[in-house]
Structure 1
């Protein structure tokens, strides 16, 4: 049974749906998320935040006290390419980096009203290149992201592979957006459970992001990418979100390609519920699982954590 604290995430999405007609400009959407989405997450404590210019991309170092300074997460924030920033997500990434015991680089990218694809992927590549230029070995870096951050995570992996460059050691994906064609059955089966992400709304987000481009382009729809040779991936999703089947379909595609894959689906949870880290037990549990799974892949001690068993996928 979902905790009382976790209801805040559903309330947030219900409020977005109720206020949709009032959020009539890109800046209004940004401002709403800055105030309301940010508030879902508790402060992790013991974490410093340092803003940097990452090769022309606004970014923020997330620096937990005592963290390994040679290992890093490169985090792509969510927000449907209409909102979200290094500020809305700094606390979530702070919880994750603290649990892992490494630093993280959280970066911004142009939102869709500022530029269409591939501008966002170009920003992600700039952040990756800057991180490497700082002396970080790809073998000591994991990629991570939530929602549309999955687009950038797998866009970076495809670009790196195409250039014959070393790949990071792992990927962590929260409520990933993998299919711009919106073929998942859960858009129908979870329609009454998910107050915000009706298929029509997500269809608008797709057009806003890529315009008339091919929705099956692997750089925007990783479900249709060649995943061969990609690093291990840990996927998490909420059982009640309309996008959950995208994670299930992607997990199957990854396994077929020989990629080590874990998928945890959390009962009663909605999209990116991990944003409630520090406030809701389900979010804290999810963050602990991500950290315990990725630590050995980054060459860090397991910290005594045991990885909980998979939820029904």
Structure 2
């Protein structure tokens, strides 16, 4: 893989100006939208829809299987981001997996603090099942806060007596809102995007004075027994590294089939940089294979679920 690409990306991320006074949530949202938004890839049709009572974006790649479905929960610290900011990333994952995807516009903090996002994730998951989607045909994915939210959604589904999907993929999951991981401090100089104070500010807006160790806020503290096969991808150069490592360890200890991938020299949700970072494209290909392999495992004759390249 390209050391030059990694170094150029690190320099680009570090060049983003930092304000002396904290921006408002609206200013953060505007900045995030301007910096992160990438359109859906060519050949992926998008349409507005509603799922679980929330606006959502459906992304359908050309030649997608009619059966498999991907439910995606975007990142943004529970404060910023939307299906539109993540249309490129979700579209790329959907295209490579050959799956129709739905990205949910769950409610954001501070206007809608914890557990609003979990309620919305569960409502979306519940509606997919109620509308006839076989859980063996359903997979989840999410990045950053959306990675933690994907796991919280499945924990809430388990408590509600709902069946689990075929698999779940999380990119750089934010899984510990107590910020207890050592990498929050030890990786601060290596992380070109976030400081400990940045992450704490998001936790303040989402949970406030609530219990930050609640399993639905911080799945690293949850009993993960019964969750589906899990793929965790994380960069080594990020303050949330230990969230991913500890989450994978917790999952393994609880009997979950789990794969942890740590990319050396890579930043938070490096998959966003597909097309200009070799490691991002390779990671998305592996994530797509992971999802389709577990969909096919639920249906041994499911040749139609082979990935699209």
TM more than 0.5 = yes
CA 1:82–1:276 in structure 2 vs 1: closer, same or farther (change >3 Å)? same
Residue 206 of structure 1 is matched in structure 2 by 203
Q: Please report how far the alpha carbon of residue 15 of structure 1 lies from its aligned counterpart in structure 2 after TM superposition.
A: 4.5
CA contact (8 A) 1:44 1:278 kept: no
Once residues 307 and 82 of structure 2 are traced to their aligned partners in structure 1, the CA distance between those partners, rounded to angstroms, is 33
Query: Is the deviation greater in 255-264 or in 132-141?
Result: 132-141
Q: Please report how far the alpha carbon of residue 110 of structure 1 lies from its aligned counterpart in structure 2 after TM superposition.
A: 1.5
Once residues 229 and 139 of structure 1 are traced to their aligned partners in structure 2, the CA distance between those partners, rounded to angstroms, is 14
Unmatched tracts of structure 1, length 5 or more: 306-313
Cα deviation, 1:243-299, whole Å, max 9, x if unaligned, reads: 111111111111111110100011110000101123321110000010111212112
CA contact (8 A) 1:2 1:269 kept: no
Task: Kindly indicate whether residue 230 of structure 2 is the aligned counterpart of residue 233 of structure 1.
Answer: yes
Unmatched tracts of structure 2, length 5 or more: 297-301
Task: Kindly indicate whether residue 249 of structure 2 is the aligned counterpart of residue 252 of structure 1.
Answer: yes
Partner-residue secondary structure (3-state), 2:261: strand
Residue 309 of structure 1 is matched in structure 2 by none
Residue 54 (structure 1) aligned to one of 31, 51, 73: 51
Residue 270 (structure 2) aligned to one of 273, 278, 286: 273
Cα deviation, 1:57-94, whole Å, max 9, x if unaligned, reads: 01011100010121111100001112111001011111
CA 1:267–1:172 in structure 2 vs 1: closer, same or farther (change >3 Å)? same
Cα deviation, 1:80-139, whole Å, max 9, x if unaligned, reads: 112111001011111101111111110111111221011111111221122223321111
Partner-residue secondary structure (3-state), 1:68: coil
Residue 33 of structure 2 is matched in structure 1 by 34
Cα deviation, 1:223-249, whole Å, max 9, x if unaligned, reads: 110111111100000011111111111
Q: Please report how far the alpha carbon of residue 9 of structure 1 lies from its aligned counterpart in structure 2 after TM superposition.
A: 4.7
Residue 14 of structure 2 is matched in structure 1 by 14
Residue 146 (structure 1) aligned to one of 131, 143, 146: 143
CA contact (8 A) 1:43 1:278 kept: no
- Give the total of aligned pairs: 303
Residue 176 of structure 2 is matched in structure 1 by 179
Once residues 262 and 133 of structure 1 are traced to their aligned partners in structure 2, the CA distance between those partners, rounded to angstroms, is 30
CA contact (8 A) 1:198 1:242 kept: yes
Q: Please report how far the alpha carbon of residue 7 of structure 1 lies from its aligned counterpart in structure 2 after TM superposition.
A: 5.0
TM-score (norm 2): 0.92
Once residues 32 and 180 of structure 2 are traced to their aligned partners in structure 1, the CA distance between those partners, rounded to angstroms, is 27
**RMSD, matched Cα:** 2.1
CA 1:155–1:304 in structure 2 vs 1: closer, same or farther (change >3 Å)? closer
CA contact (8 A) 1:2 1:267 kept: no
